[in-house]
Chains A and B, each alone.
Chain A
């Protein structure tokens, strides 16, 4: 039926990717593309045996993980404040946060590159993490704002009446109720950070570059190393899929929680 067709169409390139990763160079461009071929694991062996690969994998993990954690730590309280309290200029401030996502990265990346060279943040974890937090905060704040808006205020008020401080009420009541939304936001953040390319390309060098930049190294002006590129791509995508499968029901439940009105 329609769904099967849609699935087939959408999964075709994925199948291609796995397909290529298991072939050697001559077989990749055979015509017709479905003539018999043998599976070779040479590409994967090359990638996994490459002594530098764990370093870049760890880079990606540290950068994505820390960026997401920091974005959540800064953004969730802000979102809570925008959702619950009305204070002067709150609408303008929340629009300003949204506007940070509007800037085209290329315009921003050159001045950042220059500043980082001066300040010594080039090719460091902190440098790239700061940038990713800046980019991700808009998403975190606006998504969590929606989720917080849908938790009934009465619970918070009841806690405060019973003698809870405002901070305690936030930490013990509102935050746990928001767990699905929090997880959904975290997954989307991690996905964007894990795959981000342009900032990483410009702001990191040999030591701290994450996986997407490494993959681009397989694309040269002379030729594209298709087999190894796809093998790396499969390896790089696996952690994300792993997370997504585990958390899949949370994503939908989380977004749902944010959509119920009143």
Chain B
């Protein structure tokens, strides 16, 4: 057995063992009409066809993509910006950096509950501030227009520190010579940042971005704790729908179908990312 293969083998064996059965089980269930405790009856691709003509399904996909797109884009921009601020020298820098990861370190369940208090229409802090300033209070979680936006806001709050950490690491690895050379050549700070610093950071930031997109497409804890998908369907993403179908409606077949579709979406995104990374020379 070649040395290099034997290093990889235990890892692969465990992963195969743990994922093969659940994966095929999930695919099988999506091809049936299993509603426990009734036995499962094979129905072929009927569930997928039904999903394709279900407007709620398309809504779920749209909401998932919106949640990920807006959330991750904002987190990345904010993260890079904050990283540049944190990269400067100032007193207490180490402590500030340490407490900055706190949003990441708190259990998502608690994060959801905390923000439910903040978003509360009558007693919440946010509306209290708005009233003091003279702005009419907003129904954050109880209205169909704002539910998803509120979830995105909390997601940004919790995960910007992750992108900040990643961007900070990227910034710290940027060698000084190209920046000095650009400065000597008379480039403005703006140009230096966008043409020199940012491209040099892209390796690290891209890997962080990829993991963040994958995790965001599967986001569950925060949305579940904040709105539970409601009101109605207005903040329901595909992963949430998977959970609700299984444990709320007991339509396990729908749950499995949505899970497979979500998996395919994530797979496509990841393949795009990995291809892009290979072409950019990161891989």
Contacts and interface: CB of A to CB of B under 8 A. Distances in A.
Interface string B64-108: 000000000000000000100110000000101111111111111
Interface residues of B, number: 84
A236 interface: yes
Contacts of A143: 207
A102 B261 CA distance: 11
Interface stretch (B42-50, B121-129, B143-151, B177-185): B121-129
Interface residues of A, number: 93
Contacts of B252: 110
Contact of A13 (B8, B94, B157, B161): B157
A106 B255 contact: yes
Interface string A94-105: 011111111111
A133 B14 contact: yes
Tell me which of B14, B203, B225 has the highest count of chain A C-beta atoms within 10 A of its own C-beta: B14
A194 B243 CA distance: 22
A64 B207 CA distance: 24
20 contacts: A3-B86, A6-B82, A16-B118, A20-B117, A33-B128, A81-B4, A87-B4, A101-B214, A102-B266, A104-B263, A106-B246, A108-B22, A108-B26, A139-B211, A212-B109, A236-B107, A236-B110, A248-B98, A254-B169, A255-B170
Contacts of B102: 10-11, 14, 237, 241
Interface stretch (A39-47, A48-56, A70-78, A151-159): A70-78
B61 interface: no
Nearest to B26: A107
Given A102-B266, A107-B256, A237-B107, 16 more contacts: A31-B128, A75-B11, A78-B7, A98-B274, A100-B19, A102-B214, A103-B263, A104-B239, A106-B220, A110-B26, A134-B14, A212-B107, A240-B105, A245-B98, A252-B168, A258-B169
B15 A102 contact: no
A111 interface: yes
A44 to B, nearest CB: 15
A240 B104 CA distance: 10
B34 to A, nearest CB: 10
